[in-house]
Chain A
Amino acid sequence: MPIFDIFQRVSAAPTNPQPQARARVFDVADLYRGPVAEAPDQTAEGALPLDEKLRQAYFWIVNTAIISPHYDIEYHEPPPQSFVLGDSRSRLTLPSAQSYSSFVLMPLLTFATRRKCLFTGGPGRGKTASALLMGVLAGYPVREVRRAMVHGHPQMTIADLLGNPLPADLVAAQNMDAIRIAWRRWLSLRVKIVDEYNRIPTRTQSALLTVMGDNYAELLDHIHECPEAAWFLTANDDLGGGTYPVIEALRDRIDVVVQALAFNSRFLEDLLTRIEENIRPEEVVPRQIVFSEAELDRAQQEIRAVELPAPVRRRLEFFTSQFEFCESAGEQFEYKTKDTVRLAGVEWHTITAQETGRDRLKDLGCQTRNGFSVRVLMTLILYAKAIAYFRGNSTVELEDLRQILPFVLHDKLTADPDAPFFEQQDNAVYRTDRVGWLRKLWDLSCADYDRLNLDKDDPVGELSEEFQRGLEGLTESEVNRRITRIERVIAEWAKGRKLYGHLYDDLLKLKYLHQRYTNYLRWLKTQ
């Protein structure tokens, strides 16, 4: 390998130097480390921490493989410089800390966490190339990744997708067990790529759903168990432009959605170099950034071990609580949810017309037609941990959640374009900018959280903490005291406050605590 091959250059560690205190050990061997690399090939497994290796992979991709000079995942340490430009007063912010391109980072985090990522965007913007790179990062030869890629098309059958029974067995077999299946190669890979998934016929999508959701394929009563894998799907237009509508359950299995941003013409020279050098980035991935299966397993464990501190988790709880509540959806408290409306098949506007009393502009819940599921919350937490890990941190920061949230909720939270929020002149842009809107939602939620002073004044939090300490040994009088306190809090809230999503969740939690104490009290009295 020539030492000056620019396509093989991997950024030197540390790629994200941390300002915090380090162990002070001076190694005399450092004398001979410097600008001249004696042995550029650092292939020994485990030589670098895996978060560092992930960052090296990221920087190799953005610097060499995918020309994506966008820093839409912005981090700041000192306050950033920003400028207001144009008639629409667009704000350009210059990040003051290491920032990232979502188009590269999200697939990489998906790769590390073995989740499912959908690339959207017009043709020729690098969606398939990015997916291919992820396959190569997992250690598969380019040719194998290319051959194993599923290409969606309108005539695709389940056999095309999963495999074929062997023709000889079909004729000779006396029972189904005797029919052998030639499973498709892609089912056994740890990186699965489905190109243009919205061109797959609906029936075949259902077979795909089984593989995506349950990690096995079924054909003629035969089961093929698939290894845990990262999934990469592409769609030119995810909002209806495909040949077939994507079934909702399949869409729900996708963890993050990332948009291929437009090519910046100022980077044409980089394209020129590729043409002149006749280089395809996926064919020159440096060995240092290829992950073994064991390394990926370890990275997953390390990601799960990243801490989500209680104050950050509390903000996420508050944010989540805003969206499911729908006061006029049900009579019983538990059924006052948007899901009740959806299941009833009622026109959305007939429900919103009944909403009275609340400030529909300030109520964040009014901006959406749904809340989000447990699966989405789990995905959100996992990706927040993954981005914190990627940045070299052992705990999730508030900004990690803020940055990851739009990509996880992209297809999960449905905006209500008729909501008063979008009618405001400054907010009309959020009808088209989904990522911006979701970040705005988060910011508004955090501002509301601060306004309510919930970090310091959170009776439900205190009651929950008290309950968490367990019921073991609680006396009757103490239980009665707690029940009375719960009732008092509810009575206080009933006095004048209007019902909002976060209150709804808090009230249901109080009801839960009340019920648990009531049951315990009842049991206590029988002892």
Chain B
Amino acid sequence: MIVSETLAAVLRSGRETFNSQFAQARRQYPALDVVSFSAFLVAVVDPLVRAVAQMRPEQVAEVTMHAYETGLTLAGQRLVGSGARYPEISDGLCRIGVAAPTLFAEAPGVMLASVSNALHTLASTPGGRAAEWIEEMVRLANVATGSAEFLRAGQIVAWRSGLAHYRTGALSVGDTLPEKVALAAIGANNGATWTGVRDRLAADPWHTPGNVASSLRIVGRAGAFRGYGGLFTEPPQVAPYGDDFMVRSAGEYWLLTANAFGATFHRAAEAEWRSVSGQPPVPPSLKIQRGKVTWQNASVDLPLRGEISSAAANATTLALSSTTSHSIWLIALGVAK
């Protein structure tokens, strides 16, 4: 294992403690592998410690200790190292750590845990785009002025990176951030105001900053056949569920949340599905006929194959499923002007 002299010095000085921690972690996580953990030290801890040493040398030991513990936890659960389930975690910790050493030096325990957990959440949620979150967080490292601000901004970025179900929470978090940081997190240009951007995003779930489209249009597909990494073993059916949708496939149930930044599925119970069955799936004025959706004098052609097996609409979105597809088509109904 080749690491920088900075990290090696800290490891040497606390050799007994670090070895004891490793032994204890091994008992808790029998899968903890020396090779994987060493790889984490080299690939993640070393660059982070070197970056911290340049900016806040007095915090090197503290950061090393926390990074060491985090590494043991992650390697013990096979989340980093060779054969890791989510390589995005190592990659993200390394890149964000190098980009934001002062923030890690300021609150090493919180930052290491939070960033690791966020990367885990993004990587393990179908539809989450961890790579996008990493890119944006690297960019935000120069915008945020403290670790707490940085992590709050990260919640907005997580929504933008596919975690659609965080929309309401992320908009609230934006209200607590300095305007510059909030706008950077949501991806709006500097000329905008947070209030303006926020109001548009709150009114229309299919709005993205800088995009003017607001009419009836196909906005995406969610879900796929399980054999291709999706959730469904047979074509799903949809039903309206407040601002979201309930989905059923082969006796399994999910809640689907969808907006401009992504779509996520969450396990649901049969009782939830039953609670929505019987509700009118779409408003009477919404017409779905001969491969076309018509709504308020606008229409859009559907690229679906096969018969439409179910349709469900809420105030902003129409969800459609067909007999031959394992995906759910999402159509933005547009916002009344």
Where the two chains meet, the residues of A that have a C-beta atom closer than 8 Å to any C-beta of B are 2-6, 9, 19-22, 24, 26-38, 273
CB-CB under 8 A from B151, the residues of chain A are 32
* Beta-carbon contact of B269 and A26 below 8 Å: no
* Beta-carbon contact of B72 and A4 below 8 Å: yes
How many residue pairs, one in A and one in B, have C-beta atoms under 8 Å apart? 91
Asked whether any CB of chain A lies closer than 8 Å to the CB of B27, the reply is yes
* Beta-carbon contact of A21 and B269 below 8 Å: yes
Asked whether any CB of chain A lies closer than 8 Å to the CB of B257, the reply is yes
* Beta-carbon contact of A36 and B118 below 8 Å: no
* Beta-carbon contact of A6 and B24 below 8 Å: yes
Bound complex: CA A118 to CA B244 (Å): 53
CB-CB under 8 A from B69, the residues of chain A are 3-4
* Beta-carbon contact of B117 and A20 below 8 Å: no
In order of increasing CB-CB distance, the 9 nearest A-B pairs are A28-B169, A34-B117, A38-B113, A4-B24, A32-B114, A26-B165, A4-B25, A36-B113, A34-B120
* Beta-carbon contact of A28 and B74 below 8 Å: no
Asked whether any CB of chain A lies closer than 8 Å to the CB of B158, the reply is yes
Q: Which of B77, B169, B266, B275 contacts A35 (CB 8 A)?
A: B77
* Beta-carbon contact of B163 and A35 below 8 Å: no
Q: Is the interface of B mostly helix, strand, loop or mixed?
A: helix
* Beta-carbon contact of B166 and A28 below 8 Å: yes
* Beta-carbon contact of A36 and B70 below 8 Å: yes
Q: Which B162-198 residues have C-beta < 8 A from chain A? A: 163, 165-166, 168-170, 172-173
Bound complex: CA A28 to CA B159 (Å): 9
Bound complex: CA A31 to CA B130 (Å): 12
Bound complex: CA A331 to CA B72 (Å): 78
Q: Which B144-158 residues have C-beta < 8 A from chain A? A: 151, 154-155, 158
* Beta-carbon contact of A6 and B27 below 8 Å: yes
**Subset of 15 A-B contacts with CB under 8 Å:** A2-B20, A4-B21, A21-B275, A22-B269, A24-B255, A26-B165, A27-B169, A28-B166, A28-B169, A30-B121, A31-B158, A31-B166, A32-B114, A34-B120, A36-B74
Chain B proximity of A227: nearest CB distance (Å): 38
Contact with A along B110-122 (1 / 0, CB 8 A): 1011101110110
Chain A proximity of B193: nearest CB distance (Å): 22
* Beta-carbon contact of B116 and A36 below 8 Å: yes
CB-CB under 8 A from A31, the residues of chain B are 117-118, 121, 154-155, 158, 163, 166
* Beta-carbon contact of B114 and A35 below 8 Å: no
Chain B residues with a Cβ closer than 8 Å to the other chain, count: 46
Bound complex: CA A176 to CA B271 (Å): 69
Chain A proximity of B295: nearest CB distance (Å): 27
Where the two chains meet, the residues of B that have a C-beta atom closer than 8 Å to any C-beta of A are 20-21, 24-25, 27-28, 69-70, 72-74, 77, 79, 109-110, 112-114, 116-118, 120-121, 151, 154-155, 158-159, 163, 165-166, 168-170, 172-173, 242, 244, 255, 257, 266, 268-269, 271-272, 275
Bound complex: CA A19 to CA B272 (Å): 10
User: B243 — nearest CB in chain A belongs to which residue?
Assistant: A24
CB-CB under 8 A from B159, the residues of chain A are 28
Bound complex: CA A22 to CA B266 (Å): 12
Bound complex: CA A21 to CA B117 (Å): 26
* Beta-carbon contact of A21 and B169 below 8 Å: no
Bound complex: CA A55 to CA B231 (Å): 32
* Beta-carbon contact of B79 and A35 below 8 Å: yes
User: B274 — nearest CB in chain A belongs to which residue?
Assistant: A21
Bound complex: CA A26 to CA B159 (Å): 12
Bound complex: CA A311 to CA B78 (Å): 49
* Beta-carbon contact of B158 and A28 below 8 Å: yes
CB-CB under 8 A from A32, the residues of chain B are 113-114, 117-118, 151
Known A19-B269, A36-B112, A38-B110: A28·B27 in contact at CB below 8 Å: no
CB-CB under 8 A from A33, the residues of chain B are 117, 121
CB-CB under 8 A from B163, the residues of chain A are 31
CB-CB under 8 A from A30, the residues of chain B are 121
